[in-house]
Amino acid sequence: MNLLMEFIFEVILEGAIEGVKSKKVPKLVRIILFAIILSPFFSIIVLMIYLSLIIDSGPMIKVIFLAVALIIGIFLINLIKEMIKKYKNN
């Protein structure tokens, strides 16, 4: 069952990535697909920030959660900038 779910999510994400890259797909659909790709990463960032606020394990654990959220956030910002630059060049 776990392998089946992994396969389904892989197909959905691969299809969304190919759809975002294709010029044949309408712009609105590409934006929706891009949002589908970004939503898991954004939810992980929100989860890390939430955990850093409510966890009682000490300040070091909070800093680690915030650092992971910051690293993923920087990655997403760079990814979005690259996609915008690539879209404007084409």
Place of tokens 């915008």: 84
Q: What is the pLDDT of residues 51-80, one digit of tens each?
A: 888 888 888 988 998 999 999 889 888 877
Query: Which pLDDT belongs to residue 90?
Result: 60
Q: What is the pLDDT of residues 11-59, one digit of tens each?
A: 887 887 788 777 788 888 888 888 888 888 889 899 988 988 888 888 8
Distance between the two ends of the chain, CA-based, in angstroms?
41
Query: Which pLDDT belongs to residue 78?
Result: 83
CB atoms near residue 35 (< 10 Å): 12
More confident position, 3 or 83: 3
In one letter, which amino acid is 81?
Answer: K
User: Cβ(65)–Cβ(48) under 8 Å?
Assistant: yes
Whole-structure pTM value: 0.66
Query: Which pLDDT belongs to residue 3?
Result: 84
In one letter, which amino acid is 42?
Answer: F
